[in-house]
Structure 1
Amino acid sequence: MMQSIKLKNPGGLEHIYVANDLESNAPEKGEIKVKIHASSLNYHDYLVASGAMETAQDRVLLSDGAGVVVAVGEGVTEFSVGDNVVSTFFPQWQSGQANADVGNFSQTPGDGAEGLAAEYVTRATSAFTLAPQGWSHEESATITTAGLTAWRALVTDGNLKAGDTIVTLGTGGVSIAALQIGKMFGAKVIVTSSSNEKIEKAKALGAFAGINYKEHPEWAKEVLAITKGKGADHVIEVGGPGTLAQSVEAVAVGGKISLIGVLTGFAGELPIGVLMFKQARLQGMLVGSRSDQQDYVRALESNNIRPVVDKVFKYKELGKAFEHQINGAHFGKICVQW
């Protein structure tokens, strides 16, 4: 028997429970069996757990998972028993640009498919990549969603280069990963936060400047002042309609806004005229491909960068972990472990 963390329908943090299940099957051809040690939380996971995004009855939760390969099926050469691995968000998206196959979450763990909050899982090899060498399982679990989204926004699709200016909204997992990637490439990173303490933490990680958006509600003016009127080459937009107008004001002519989160909702007004005259690109962003993840892992290993983990809970405390997440007090990623 093994334990897993499931959600009863309708959703709600009070409907999360610990289940005793039969251990996952031995791997068949093209599959691996993984002992999961840790996961990290994402806003998408909270939407599923809270019931805002509908899923199946008694769904195993969480889209991120890291662990150790304990068995391999016939024909598997990419992985060996004992390898540390980390999950992929879209197992069906191997490489290239997004297409209709990744237009929904039908195969995403913890949503359209069973999640990674289980002691053991048996999946196709496409559901995992190797983890960075020397990383803890908690650190590796931050890669799948938050880290990879920042990587794709800035590198795969953003063509980040030395000297670029990046604005990150907030200090959650995606934003802190973007800060670290920016420093890796020699970019200047400006962080926004409602907390001066968090801004100082971000500066300690290498942020060039910080803006308290409570003290400066029209924070785009501060970005323009810091960049001497040019604006940011990249804006990591996690707020959605409540912050998008400021992001458009803050972006440079010919710059790029990566719309990653919708913390303020799904509907709002967009300053079309400003966006058009700036000839800026606004791109919706949902994680990345398995190939992107492998590129990201290699870059992390080459640059000796480690993610920022705010707090680690036990899987059976998943409800409390989500409460800590929606509190907004965290800096970096929240993880869970067995």
Structure 2
Amino acid sequence: MKPFSRMLELALVGGLLLTTCSVTTNADQSINLFKAQTTNDATVATTQKIQKLTQADLNHFIPTQAQKVIGNQVTDPGSDAIFIPKVNYQASQNPQNQLKVPNGYTLKKLKYAASNKAIGNYRIQIQMGKIGLRGLAINSFTPAKRDLKRPVNLNRITFAQSKELTRFALLILNPAIQKLGGIPYRATTNSIQFAQASADVYSKDNWNNTGDKTGHDPKVKPVVSKAFNVKDVAEENYSDNPSFNLTSPKLKQRTVSMATLKATIYSSMAIQMYEDGPSYWGHATALMNLDIHPKYQPNYFGVGFDKFGGIHFMMVPHNHLVNRAFVLGQVVVE
């Protein structure tokens, strides 16, 4: 998916123009800016559109191995998403956002679709892809009115903001995992700091997911693992922001609303769970806490944002067998 270029700059210009109009309220400006920051050229998933998918369309939602193509192109969710969940532009005082699970989406089916045995099976991948797309179609995000007016500077995100974003992520992710009989995540002060420290490496390296700086920054694990005493199986689910473009390293103003960041967390999680076929369902299995063996649980979670709007979901297992030197800190979500 190609994000709208200069989205933030255009949104700010529009906001300045709107302030000269006496009939435009502050609430109107907030929702218009939120809409500009969360609008993109992907298609909002509906069951009707899924039923009308052509064979060529379906090829976008399955691993390249299943297409019998030479070479494998692993993609980042968000940058290549064709379908996205709906965003509601009528804000609510207290929205009850959740990640609904479609019929047929089970941990057993997900693990099988991601297995070497099934990765090249076109029929299995099409079947799982359609189930996932139904997952996108039944989900939607609604912003909270208060979050529309709360700016977040991605150049200097605070711990309190990271904590709030991590709590939001797990309040929608853990219920979906538990519904499927999986192992929920926990979050602590240090798992949150671990996630933001990882995102900060991307910012420092100007890793903007363009040109030769695409995919995962290889410096993250050695730098952050050493700082936090993490020796084994720390994982990162990373996607460039699917809804707005801050990729230029020359930009000085990188402020978006808290509502925008929560919307992009929601969309990224939905895309990683349900539209991850081109990445061999690797993001989906990691996000659903399937990659860490049960004997290494519990798995601690944090959300970080880099200055380009890239989203980083970090997972660190910690018990008497692994990462014993990692200091958990205070439990925030369990």
Query: TM-score when scaled to structure 1?
Result: 0.28
Structure number with the higher helix fraction is 2
Higher relative contact order, structure no. (Cα contacts within 8 Å, ≥ 6 residues apart) = 2
TM-score of the pair, normalised by structure 2: 0.28
